[in-house]
Amino acid sequence: MSNWPLPNPDVQCLLCTLPTKSTGHPIGPLWQAFSPVPTDKKPKARCIFCNHDKPISGTAAVISSYIKKCSKISLDVRTYLLNAYQFQQQKNVINSTIIRDQQPGNSLDESIALLMSTSNWSIVSTQSDNNIAQLPIDVYESNQLLLESIIEGGAPLSFMDAKKFKEFVCSINMHYNVPARKQLTTKVLNNVYKKVQTSVQKFICKSEWISIATDGWTNICQDHIINFMTIGKNRRTELVKIKDTFGESQTSTVIFRDLEDILIRIGTEKINAIITDEAANYIRMKAMLTQKYSNILALPCTAHESNLLVADMLKHKYMKLTINLATKIITYL
């Protein structure tokens, strides 16, 4: 094993951005094209492709420029080295120090595999005429971000099967393969769900107070759904529960039972208000709630009340006359 001498082993190496805590030089993507040159003078490195010597003290920009210009380095290997270095700079996720074995039997591909042998990284290859270029992709993180984007945008999962979407992904990174829908809706979805649940729990624990809003709605399959949301500081809103009410009548007692379950999970001392619409079953539920928990306010939904107010105003005979006249004018136009 050959060590790379450095003037100060405790500073961060400017060439590969890894902390130099060992006696040897930590190999970064750029330095995989070089081997150390034994010398008593200023430390040097030798290009393993053209045998040209370079001072180790050269900056990353200098080394990058040399790799770009070296005619002996193939296009695939050059692409790997430069892209891997840029990727390492952006992600900064490789935390272990790797010192390349410079024995004759050690190839560049073996060094690349050693460098990128981190748990969540996928090494994907593209075969060219002469060499194999390998680029690191965090498939685990990329798949999660893809699913989160689809959910946040309310897009159907069939969006992933769109030809133009796959072409778009390929134009950004040709080495990332869009996962199958089944993969996203099983393992990846479970991981995203756990991630969101953890984030919601942290939000609730750190909040000094929490308000709970609940409302019912009908999805595209005509299923009646009730959601429960927590509202905290700066109006941050997080969904804590969704209930499908199929086969169950939503009486005030049933709604109170579901809401109380959430109150107990969060802690009744942290809840300051409950917000619902003005449906009859919700009004009765709020009466039951304030009777049992006197410290919690039962507030109406302002938006729902405004809608009811406007609806009543439109029923007035003068408003009806105005609307009828406006309708005739619009029809004429």
Among 247, 271, 246, which residue's Cα sits nearest to residue 259?
Answer: 271
In the chain, where the domains are located: 29-137, 140-197, 207-300, 302-333
Q: Give the pTM.
A: 0.50
> Phi and psi at residue 35, in whole multiples of 5°?
-130, 150
- pLDDT computed for residue 43 by the predictor: 64
Single-letter amino acid code for the residue at 214:
T
Count of beta carbons in the 10 Å neighbourhood of residue 282: 25
Tens digits of residue pLDDT in 56-110: 555 666 777 777 788 787 776 777 777 777 666 655 443 333 333 434 454 444 4
Q: With beta carbons less than 8 A apart as the criterion, state whether 160 and 149 touch.
A: no
Tens digits of residue pLDDT in 190-247: 888 888 889 888 998 888 899 998 888 887 778 888 889 999 888 888 888 888 888 7
Q: With beta carbons less than 8 A apart as the criterion, state whether 212 and 229 touch.
A: yes
- pLDDT computed for residue 109 by the predictor: 45
Q: With beta carbons less than 8 A apart as the criterion, state whether 213 and 229 touch.
A: yes
Average pLDDT for the chain: 72
CATH superfamily of 207-300: Ribonuclease H-like superfamily/Ribonuclease H (3.30.420.10)
DSSP characters over 218-283: E-TT--EEEEEEEE-GGG-EEEEEEEE-TT----HHHHHHHHHHHHHHH-TTTEEEEEE---HHHH
Burial 225-242 (b: 16+ CB within 10 A, else e): ebebbbbbeeeeebebbe
- pLDDT computed for residue 59 by the predictor: 62
Counting beta carbons within 10 angstroms of the beta carbon of residue 45, is it exposed (0 to 12), middle (13 to 18) or buried (19 or more)?
A: buried
